[in-house]
Structure 1
Amino acid sequence: MGDDRRERVTFPGLPPWPERATVARILRTETTGGLILLVAAAVALVWANSPWGASYARVRDLHVGIPPLGLDMSVAHWTAEGLLTIFFLVAGIELKRELVTGELGTPSTATLPVVAAAGGVAVPAAVYLAVAGIGGGSMKGWAVPMATDIAFALAVLAVLGTHLPAAMRAFLLTLAVVDDLGAILVIAIVFTAGLHPPALAGAGAGLVVFHLLQRYRIGGWWWYVPLGTVIWALTYKGGVHATVAGVAMGLILRARPDRRAGEDASPADRAEHLLRPVSAAVAAPLFALFAAGVRVSAPAIGAIFVRPELLGVVLGLVAGKTAGIVAGTWLAARFTRARLSPGLAWADVVALAALGGIGFTVALLIGELAFTDPGQVEHVKAAVLVGSVTAAVVAALLVRRRNRVYRALWEAEGRDAGADGGPDAHRRP
């Protein structure tokens, strides 16, 4: 009886104005970044399948770097291990902000997005394992359909959802932040090769120095850029995917300004302000340019429906993500104190869950890590593209339907059939 009287926590709630302004800024940048990402992927596909496809492969596989330092990598490898570190650094900053000042700051408000994201991670992996197991395929790709590409998802939502409530965007953003954490943990724990303890110890020592610089309020890019570069290089040499270094540094940055030290903005806010445009307009698109260039042919597309591991990726993204997010949200709303915002309907949750199936950037990255044979990698990339496009189409139909509903409500609220100078919805009976 007492439990029933406890106040239930609404998610997503209405955060204070500074947090709302931050979320709005992130959404605007990610939407633009998603459109740039889409163009980069289209260019990659057209280039790789054009008469100049051989030049695409030459540029992608061109090796540059410093061989004596073990940093001699292909252009594609540099974008995955180097530029994408900036993308994950921004993701780490987002996660830190959510943990300190956002919806994840207290267990009661964090429950719903965490459980929803957990469902969106576990169910796609289970779908993949079931399909691959039944068909006798490789189990190595179980993590490929786990990730959501927030830039693409927000771009679809922004382009088609002109009248959707702000709560839908806030829900998707928070869900994606937790989803990214799951992908980061998988990359850090599962996809390691030839661990080199001395290098990892050096990276750890660098992170300690990074933390001390933050703790003692020491500023200046001349400290952080060289130190961050060393941490990144040692992480790569240590056998852990170098993007993990970006996440770690993002989590260390302070998310609250120290007014006593004269700070108008926190280090995390300043770093995010500088790096988000680079992440959205340069890092992620260049990765897509050199990761999405898959040779598309009838046999390659046909293989998706024959080879179980490829079908598992597609079904995991399209069906597993939707089912997992909806189930997780329902479980959290049913069995915990958390509940959906009154401004959201369950049909909205289904549309957002379908958007979660747009894997793309991180799914392509995990596909490259999970499979080592070049032929397998190309086929898995094709499956990721087919699954992401299918999820985007399904989500677009659902989002457009919800947008029509909210547009009708908006028009009804503003209608003045009585010509009395005020909306009918606000006229007294």
Structure 2
Amino acid sequence: MTRAEKVHAPYPLEPTLARALSPFESFLHSTGAGGILLMATTVLTLIVANSALGHALHVFWEQPAGLVVGDFAMRQSVHHWINDGLMALFFLLVGLELKREFMVGELKSPAAALLPIIAAAGGMAAPAAIYLAFNGGDAVAARGWGIPMGTDIAFAVGVLVLLGKRVPHALLIFLTALAIADDLGAVLVIALFYTSKLNSYALAAMALIGIVMLLANRAGLRHLSIWLLLGAALWYATWLSGMHATLAGILLAAAMPVRPRLKPLAYVTVVEHRLAEFRSHATDVSTPSDTFSSHDMAHIAFKLEGLTRAAQSPLQRTEAALAPWVSFAVLPIFAFANAGVELSAASIAQGMLHPVTLGIALGLLFGKFAGISAACWLAVRLRIARLPPGVTWPQLLGVAWLAGIGFTMALFIAQLAFTDPHLVEYAKLGILAASFVAAPIGVFWLLASTRKVD
């Protein structure tokens, strides 16, 4: 056996372990994994909420928790920490995705971005109008007009991915861009219409931190630790300001550098030089076969790792690190804390006839479909935009149905819109009803309008 064969030969258990873990790794890295887990968590939450454990779980979410250091105290319920704290990570990821898409992604080109943005606008206006048609006469209930405006990107994309090769890639890109534009609209709605009494001192602190972040960006500071500290300070100032604390995630994302320290060609040149050094050590017969027993080789490997980080912007590194945590921890925990609703025959019969439930359910289900379809048809008819390449009208209508899956953003806005727990429960019922009806309609519609590609 040659020296190279010895170096690359696997340990005895490696192939077995790799085969055992392969299905799990494939699932975790699949596009729709987060949406599938979110669906499973929602079903589990509904089961637990309607079992003997439901009351105990509710009591747990309302338990106070916080940080106390001397006279300084931050206390909220566990439920509020999830919605104000953990969800800030979700909004940070949304902000990073938005910035990436507008800077270098599908929304960079005005021609490509126009149709998803127009579709998102129609898909927000029509549901809000339907909701207000049912609740416009009640000032308290009318505050929920923003609830049916959001599309759950994880849920909707997860459902679309389940259809596999039947779905054109351009359709998946369109739905993702639509949901991202939709999220931007929802964030603006939260900032402008669901903000309580403002604290001028905290707003001044937010402005000061924002200026520091912009200066840090201009100065080329790309150490993630600096941005995380600035983000934590911004979150606290936003929490004190009266604006919803999660908006700090969007503001942090907007300020983070999008350009790497090392440009692509410079990265290639330096890496090639380092690899040549590494190769010279590796082929030296006096060098031990174990890389880490050679100080020089370990040092070069460490430098290569640093170069790879330098070739990625803070935005890219943060998004890559954050995405699995949001998909597999933050959103399932949020769903577990917020999606529980009583599903007895009496509560469903009473709740489904309430104007809040009807406004949300019909707004999400039919408002999304009608708003997106009409907006796209009008934009194409007037030659303002074009259908994505390879996408047919029936396929686009199928995506319009899937956009009726509101879930995460809708549940989040419901918590901001209402203080009455009964209205929150009605809102949850409407969101769940619409989401669980929109998903199968969208799937069957797309199955009927697409053919399987081998």
TM-score by length of 1: 0.84
Give yes or no for the alignment of 1:233 onto 2:233.
no
CA distance in 1, matches of 2:380, 2:73: 50
The alpha-carbon deviation at position 385 of structure 1 amounts to 0.9
Indicate the residue corresponding to 2:287 in structure 1. Answer: none
CA distance in 2, matches of 1:204, 1:273: 28
Percent of residue pairs identical: 41
Contact 1:214 1:254 in 2 (8 A): yes
The alpha-carbon deviation at position 226 of structure 1 amounts to 2.1
Give yes or no for the alignment of 1:314 onto 2:366.
no
Indicate the residue corresponding to 1:8 in structure 2. Answer: none
Aligned Cα RMSD in Å? 2.1
- Residues 105-161 of structure 1: CA distance to partner in whole angstroms, max 9, x if unpaired? 243332211111100000100111112248998212111100000000011111134
Indicate the residue corresponding to 1:9 in structure 2. Answer: none
Indicate the residue corresponding to 2:402 in structure 1. Answer: 355
1:72/1:336 CA distance change after superposition, 3 Å: farther
Indicate the residue corresponding to 2:283 in structure 1. Answer: none
Code of the aligned partner of 1:38: M
Larger deviation: 337-346 or 170-179?
A: 337-346
Q: 1:200-211, aligned counterparts within 5 Å?
A: 200-211=203-214
Contact 1:210 1:252 in 2 (8 A): yes
1:78/1:30 CA distance change after superposition, 3 Å: farther
Indicate the residue corresponding to 1:131 in structure 2. Answer: 134
Indicate the residue corresponding to 2:60 in structure 1. Answer: 59
Code of the aligned partner of 2:321: L
Give yes or no for the alignment of 1:274 onto 2:321.
yes
1:135/1:371 CA distance change after superposition, 3 Å: closer
Of residues 98, 101, 112, the one that matches 1:98 is 101
Indicate the residue corresponding to 2:40 in structure 1. Answer: 39
CA distance in 2, matches of 1:205, 1:44: 41
Code of the aligned partner of 2:107: L
Indicate the residue corresponding to 2:250 in structure 1. Answer: 247
1:304/1:135 CA distance change after superposition, 3 Å: farther
Contact 2:125 2:371 in 1 (8 A): yes
Larger deviation: 130-139 or 141-150?
A: 130-139
Contact 2:31 2:161 in 1 (8 A): no
Indicate the residue corresponding to 1:4 in structure 2. Answer: none
Give yes or no for the alignment of 1:152 onto 2:155.
yes
CA distance in 1, matches of 2:227, 2:245: 17
1:29/1:239 CA distance change after superposition, 3 Å: farther
Larger deviation: 157-166 or 123-132?
A: 157-166
Code of the aligned partner of 2:250: V
Indicate the residue corresponding to 2:379 in structure 1. Answer: 332
Contact 2:222 2:313 in 1 (8 A): no
Of residues 89, 92, 97, the one that matches 1:89 is 92
Indicate the residue corresponding to 1:286 in structure 2. Answer: 333
Indicate the residue corresponding to 2:451 in structure 1. Answer: 406
Of residues 298, 314, 319, the one that matches 2:345 is 298
The alpha-carbon deviation at position 163 of structure 1 amounts to 2.0
The alpha-carbon deviation at position 365 of structure 1 amounts to 0.7
Larger deviation: 355-364 or 45-54?
A: 45-54
Contact 1:136 1:308 in 2 (8 A): no
Q: Secondary structure at the match of 1:257?
A: coil
Give yes or no for the alignment of 1:375 onto 2:433.
no
Contact 2:49 2:55 in 1 (8 A): yes
CA distance in 2, matches of 1:107, 1:349: 20
Contact 1:89 1:249 in 2 (8 A): yes
CA distance in 2, matches of 1:44, 1:30: 23
Code of the aligned partner of 2:50: N
The alpha-carbon deviation at position 388 of structure 1 amounts to 1.1
The alpha-carbon deviation at position 331 of structure 1 amounts to 1.8
Contact 1:310 1:380 in 2 (8 A): yes
Contact 1:161 1:399 in 2 (8 A): no
Code of the aligned partner of 2:407: F
CA distance in 1, matches of 2:98, 2:49: 35
1:163/1:155 CA distance change after superposition, 3 Å: same
CA distance in 1, matches of 2:249, 2:182: 17
Indicate the residue corresponding to 2:285 in structure 1. Answer: none
Indicate the residue corresponding to 1:385 in structure 2. Answer: 432
Unaligned runs of 5+ in 1: 1-24, 412-429
TM-score by length of 2: 0.80
- Residues 177-212 of structure 1: CA distance to partner in whole angstroms, max 9, x if unpaired? 100000000111111112111112212211222222
1:270/1:305 CA distance change after superposition, 3 Å: same
Indicate the residue corresponding to 1:16 in structure 2. Answer: none
The alpha-carbon deviation at position 397 of structure 1 amounts to 1.5
Give yes or no for the alignment of 1:170 onto 2:173.
yes
CA distance in 2, matches of 1:388, 1:229: 34
CA distance in 1, matches of 2:173, 2:383: 20
Code of the aligned partner of 1:274: A
Q: Which structure would you say has the larger Rg?
A: 2
Code of the aligned partner of 2:230: L
Indicate the residue corresponding to 2:295 in structure 1. Answer: none
Indicate the residue corresponding to 1:198 in structure 2. Answer: 201
CA distance in 2, matches of 1:165, 1:367: 34
Indicate the residue corresponding to 2:388 in structure 1. Answer: 341
CA distance in 1, matches of 2:133, 2:95: 32
CA distance in 2, matches of 1:245, 1:135: 32
Contact 2:227 2:256 in 1 (8 A): no
Give yes or no for the alignment of 1:394 onto 2:441.
yes
The alpha-carbon deviation at position 51 of structure 1 amounts to 0.9
